[in-house]
């Protein structure tokens, strides 16, 4: 019995002969196929790009301020207190 084929997608790119030679040499140095080398490099770059876009990095001072606000939140502004009161009224009346 054969294992089920894993779905794949194709990616094509036109590159200069110089870049092709560089990628081929790098793959050979790591004893990998050029396809494996390129896929791994692209995957790592994609993960880094996503992380840089999604992860919020705070300075030490910002981290301390954030923790302090979580531990001792400021008193709610009057408008927020009114909004919560109105919400309670609306939710309870349904």
Query: Which residues form the domain of 51?
Result: 14-55
Of 20, 50, 52, 51, the C-alpha closest to 38 is 20
Q: Could you report the per-residue pLDDT of 41-67, keeping only the tens digit for each?
A: 999 999 999 999 999 999 999 999 999
Tell me whether residue 6 is in a domain: no
Share above pLDDT 70 across residues of the chain, in percent, rounded to a whole number: 97
Residue 3 included in any domain: no
pTM above 0.85, yes or no: no
Q: Is residue 86 part of a domain?
A: yes
* pLDDT tens column, 77-92: 999 999 999 999 988 8
With respect to residue 82, please indicate whether it lies within any of the assigned structural domains: yes
Radius of gyration of the chain from Cα atoms? 27
Cα 28–chain centre separation: 31
How far is Cα of residue 3 from the mean position of the Cα atoms in its chain?
32
Residue 8 belongs to some domain of the structure: no
């Amino acid at each position: 019995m054969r294992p089920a084929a894993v779905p794949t997608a194709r990616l094509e790119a036109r590159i200069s002969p110089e870049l092709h030679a560089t990628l081929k040499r790098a793959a050979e140095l790591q004893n990998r196929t050029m396809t494996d080398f390129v896929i791994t490099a692209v995957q790592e770059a994609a993960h880094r790009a996503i992380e840089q876009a999604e992860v919020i990095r705070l300075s030490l001072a910002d981290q301390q301020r954030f923790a302090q606000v979580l531990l001792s939140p400021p008193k709610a502004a009057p408008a927020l207190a009114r909004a919560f009161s109105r919400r309670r009224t609306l939710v309870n009346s349904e």
